[in-house]
Structure formats: structure tokens, C-alpha cells
Amino acid sequence: MLIFILPPSWDELRARLENRGEDAPEVIELRLKNAEEEMAQVAKFDFVIINELFESALFDLKAIIHAQRLKYAAQRRLRADTFESLNIPESN
């Protein structure tokens, strides 16, 4: 499972990097260049979260993790006793 977390906009990404006050301008430019290259790969990911508000992004991340735990293979592994008691064959 691959999750890509995107900023809400390019301007917001730049502002977040600048507002940290940790990096020199040339470091910020390098980070933005790297971010552009990374974002070009977003279609290869299974899920995309837009990190506009932290609480919302965290909720989305938790929802993805929860959904993964509900997939058939995970449930079959974690709740084998339930599947057996319901006479559901493994190949089903």
C-alpha cells in the first residue's frame, strides 16, 4: 500500500517551507525541485491525501489504515475462527 501526501497547493508548500525558518533559500528551492519530481510520481500510489488541515489529513490516513484492515485477506488471517465457524472455505 502506497500513500502519497500532497500539499493543498504549490504556494502553500513554499509558504510552509519558508515559515519553518529552518532552511536557507537555496535549500528551500532544492526541496521544492525535489517535491516537483516526487509529485510527478503520484499516479503510482494507491491513495492520495491532501494535507490542507492536519486533523483532516490524519483522519484520512487512519481511514485508509482501517480500510486495509477490513480487506478480505486481512480479515481471513485475523479472524480465521469466524470464517471457520461460518463454514466459509479459504478459496472463497
Domain positions in the chain are 1-52, 53-92
Q: Which residue in this structure is represented by grid cell 485508509?
A: 64
- Is pLDDT at 29 greater than 70 in this prediction? yes
Q: What are 82-92's pLDDT values in tens digits?
A: 999 999 998 75
CATH class of the 1-52 domain in this structure: alpha beta
Query: Distance (Å, rounded) from C-alpha 31 to C-alpha 25?
Result: 10
Over residues 37-65, mean pLDDT:
98
- Is pLDDT at 28 greater than 60 in this prediction? yes
Instruction: Give just the sign of the alpha carbon dihedral 41, 43, 45, 50.
Output: positive
- Is pLDDT at 6 greater than 90 in this prediction? yes
Over residues 36-47, mean pLDDT:
98
Question: Do the Cβ atoms of 18 and 28 come closer than 8 Å?
Answer: yes
Question: What are the strands, taking DSSP E only, across 1-92?
Answer: 3-6, 47-50
pLDDT at 20: 93
